[in-house]
Amino acid sequence: MTQQPSATGLAADAAALAEAAPLFPAPTPAPAETPYGVLDVGSNSIRLVVFEGLRRAPAPVFNERELCGLGATLAETGALAPDAVEPALDAMRRFAAAAAALGTGPLDAVTTAAVRDARDGARFCQAVARETGFSLRVLSGEEEARYAALGVVSAFPGASGLMADLGGGSLELVRLDEGQLAEHATLPLGVLRLGNLAPGRRTALAAGRLGTLSWLDKVHGAPVYLVGGAWRALARIHMAARQHPIAVVHHYRMTANEARQTAKAYATADPRTLRPGPEGMWPSRLATVPSGAAVLRALLKAAAPSEVLFSAFGLREGLLFDRLPEAVRALDPLHDACRAIARREGRSLAYAEALDSWLARAALPAFAPHRDLLPAAAFLSEIAWRQHPDLRAADAFTRISRAPFVGIDHPGRVFLALAVATRYKSALPAEADQAANRLLPAEAQGAARALGLALRLAEKLSCGERAVLEGSQLSAEGDRLTLRLAAAHEPLASGKARSAADALARAIDCTLALETG
């Protein structure tokens, strides 16, 4: 069993982290389309995620957890909770069968603080191997921190600031410098360890531990990226209280002041009084919120961040990211995810690629501030084309605003959802207008609707065939919007296509001109 590192070792600098890299095994080569699994045996929960493949932004095809609480008694007894061991084994028996049924190829089975620190951790790993076939790899604190940070970097490319992953048994911290991992630490501040302490004692203990990390001064004024179930629960409660229009925790943002006020309010809360909002939440998860808020109070004081961002990506996604070739890691995660959606659910990937090129060539001034989102809009444009016409706009908005992709903030989600919903229908459902009014300035709303009209024009003009788009050009200069197309395609620029072109011209305050040749 791995011993818990000393405080000095936990605060190692970037050079020490780089020296530790050879301790991590080389990724096992596997086809990109072979399902890849991660079994994560934590102090509070056990989760199996099976991704559709080893790709930059694969969708999970299976994602289940059981809240077993293996580390619930660790602080008092030094051992795993006796009444949690059998439920944990039951969960892993099911997960072993699920992984086999899904044809999972490579699978990383890892365990973290509770098993790492428990005196009976080795015996538990032996029981897991015997009963389920999983060979658990006990991660050191440094390894746990590294993988969690890689998960955040995979979701926030080029991130700088502080990654903080709060689990049941420990708190992992890594300073991020433009996507590179620097100083790191593992502290015994998990929500289960702190759960039996008085509320005031939790924050004081966390503050004392964090006070040993002099390198936290380097993250002052930078974002903090929060990972972990207790903090995601806190975000959900805050979102429900604010009636936030997007029900996705990932990339939910709080100002530093909002985070301080929220942490202070909930650090002493009675979990039984907490209101989780319309999405619901397990009582055992709600019970961890006060401890999570207490640690957050101390962290905000020590790190003095500019803002707080919540990340749905952490250790499991970091394990996947670590297996990817460097060229795949460099891909844009949002564009890769949207391309996969086009491949699975769109009219055709070829049409989406032609639409992406058509929008890039158009280079309309109205789209310039949002050029990074144009490829995603092209690949998502046909996400609802198989739906009943009356349902397409609402379906597109709901699916895009809640999609499990990363590399985009909440205003960006609403921009894309509004654009693609407009591609289907100009009169949008009430929730779309409400979300747009809450998260987008008027200019961005106008640009999103204009982009939707451009997507509609492309589909009406081309009938969903790439050849027409490849032979046409949309451009704007001054107050003139020009649509050029091949002479053979001139008859297509009439009817609904002409109506869409006229609507786009009006939306960007232009007069439409058609040119053929």
- DSSP string of 321-350? HHHS-HHHHTS-HHHHHHHHHHHHHSS-HH
How far is 409 from 413, CA to CA, in rounded Å?
6
- Asked whether residue 274 carries a pLDDT value surpassing 80, the answer given is no
pLDDT band at residue 340, thresholds of 50, 70 and 90?
very high
- Asked whether residue 3 carries a pLDDT value surpassing 60, the answer given is no
Q: Is-contact 512 483, C-beta < 8 A? A: yes
pTM: 0.89
3-state secondary structure (DSSP) of residue 446: helix
Give 360-416 as a 3 state SS string.
HHHCCHHHHHHHHHHHHHHHHCCCCCCCCHHHHHHHHHHHHHHCCCCCCCHHHHHHH
Domains 31-139 and 142-316 share a fold: yes
Q: pLDDT tens digits for 279-335?
A: 666 677 788 899 999 999 999 999 999 999 999 999 999 999 999 999 999 999 999
31-45, 198-212, 273-287, 330-344, range with the lowest pLDDT: 273-287
Average pLDDT over residues 197-217: 94
For residue 303, what pLDDT is reported? 97
How far is 237 from 475, CA to CA, in rounded Å?
46
Element (H, E) at 453: helix 442-462
CA dihedral 31, 33, 35, 37 (to 10 degrees): 60
User: What is the number of H-type helices and E-type strands within the chain?
Assistant: 24, 14
Q: Could you tell me which residue, 207 or 3, shows the higher pLDDT?
A: 207
What is the distance of C-alpha 438 from the center of its chain? Answer: 21
Q: Is-contact 72 2, C-beta < 8 A? A: no
Fold of the domain spanning 333-470: Hypothetical protein af1432 (1.10.3210)
For residue 266, what pLDDT is reported? 94
pLDDT band at residue 4, thresholds of 50, 70 and 90?
very low
Residue 379: what residue type? F
CA dihedral 212, 70, 136, 27 (to 10 degrees): -50
pLDDT over 90 percentage in the chain: 81
For residue 275, what pLDDT is reported? 72
Sorted by where each begins, the domain ranges of the chain are: 31-139, 142-316, 333-470
pLDDT band at residue 25, thresholds of 50, 70 and 90?
very low
To the nearest 10 degrees (0 to 180), the angle between helices 496-507 and 442-462 is 160
CATH superfamily for 31-139 is ATPase, nucleotide binding domain (3.30.420.40)
22-26, 265-269, 465-469, 488-492, range with the lowest pLDDT: 22-26
Is CATH 1.10.630.10 the classification given to domain 142-316?
Answer: no
Q: pLDDT tens digits for 49-82?
A: 999 999 999 999 999 999 899 998 988 899 999 9
- Asked whether residue 24 carries a pLDDT value surpassing 70, the answer given is no
Q: Is-contact 34 51, C-beta < 8 A? A: no
- Asked whether residue 7 carries a pLDDT value surpassing 60, the answer given is no
Residue 52: what residue type? E
Q: pLDDT tens digits for 391-448?
A: 999 999 999 999 989 999 999 999 999 999 999 998 888 899 999 999 999 999 999 9
Q: Is-contact 215 150, C-beta < 8 A? A: no
How far is 446 from 366, CA to CA, in rounded Å?
9
Structure tokens of 125? 């790993």
Give 176-209 as a 3 state SS string.
EECCEEEEEEEECCCHHHHCCCCHHHHHHHHHHH
Q: Is-contact 227 313, C-beta < 8 A? A: yes
Q: Is-contact 303 220, C-beta < 8 A? A: yes
Query: If you average pLDDT over every residue of the chain, what do you get?
Result: 90
